Amino acid sequence: MKTRMIGSLEVSALGLGCMSMSSGYGPPADRGAMIKLIRLAHERGVTLFDTAEAYGPFVNEELLGEAVASIRGEVVIATKFGFNIDLDTGERQAGTNSRPDHIKAVADASLRRLKTEHIDLFYQHRVDPAVPIEDVAGAIKDLVAAGKVRHFGLSEAGIDTIRRAHAVHPVTAVQSEYSLLWRGPESELLPALEDLGIGFVPFSPLGAGFLTGKIDENTRFEPTDFRSLVPRFSPAARKANMKLVEIIKAIADRKATTQAQVALAWLLAQKPWIVPIPGTTKLHRLDENLGAVDVVLSSEDLRDIASALSEFQVQGERLPEAALKMTGL
């Protein structure tokens, strides 16, 4: 497995997003099978594993902690704080909570669930409008000094927030959605991160599965699958956006590879400090995704993709309205 630098942190060129193993995409997967999958990912060279207290809540961190306990020194654990979750009951209340005392309490709880003495990368899951980002960064600075956290990250944050946080304590990585289906970060976010020397970790790099070609207008989602609520995944939007899938398929056919691998290879080709974290619950999909590291898109491939994208407008918002309001993009 090739490696990349996000800020000062070296990780595998592709990480593994663990959320779908416990939540977000329908019923939770079998716990034992997911522990095995995480360990197989490590055997294949994956070192970056992404989770959050909100995934479950709590159960995804517990899952990852158990899976990597015997290989803790060989992996990078990224988790997140920032939603308003009761640390005793796991009850998720409305809004965000990044008060410094709460951040520190979340860190302690996450350390216990992850069975570790330190969190490698601690992201603010969503910016809290009620708490100055300087106070958030100050809390992380304290956690770093205490040895509980090693690197600071921000998720779905705007440029001004990133710069203000970075001035208090170095931000190692920013995590936001980015794929051929959603290219919003390109105009302002990516140039700012490059200027600051911050790494970028795209989630939903396969467009929540849409770019694989396995979803069409007739696909039905479980009620507990977040895509059932997303405008971009309405039947009409999926039908309109199939043109993008066809664009990717043409490149995949030309290179004798898969659509998922083309979509991931495209992301890897954008910047050397981009590390996508595709998620899966299936071993054959894990292997397919990891194969993207060895897919090289030529300048001609990239030009063809760019030309086709310039003539195509993605239909449907990427998140429900309430969720969009919580992002800085």
Residues annotated as catalytic are 55
- Unique residue bearing structure tokens 């405008």: 231
Closest CA to 289 of 267, 274, 270, 272: 267
Based on the number of CB atoms within 10 Å of its own CB, is 175 exposed (0-12), middle (13-18) or buried (19 or more)?
Answer: buried
d(CA 200, CA 113): 26
Distances (CA, A) of 227 to 86, 219, 234, 250, 315: 26, 11, 8, 26, 14
Residue 325 CB contacts under 8 Å (≥ 6 apart), including other chains: none
Closest CA to 252 of 236, 240, 241, 264: 264
d(CA 181, CA 278): 14
Q: Please check whether residue 197 is in contact with residue 7, taking contact to mean a CB–CB distance below 8 angstroms.
A: yes
d(CA 166, CA 66): 32
Residue 276 CB contacts under 8 Å (≥ 6 apart), including other chains: 14, 15, 178, 201, 202, 205, 264, 267, 268
**DSSP state for residue 225 in the 8-state scheme:** B
Distances (CA, A) of 147 to 68, 97, 142, 232: 20, 23, 9, 42
β-partners of residue 48 are: 76
Residue by residue, what is the 3-state secondary structure of 248-275? HHHHHHHHCCCHHHHHHHHHHHHCCCEC
- Helical packing angle, 283-290 and 259-270, nearest 10°: 40
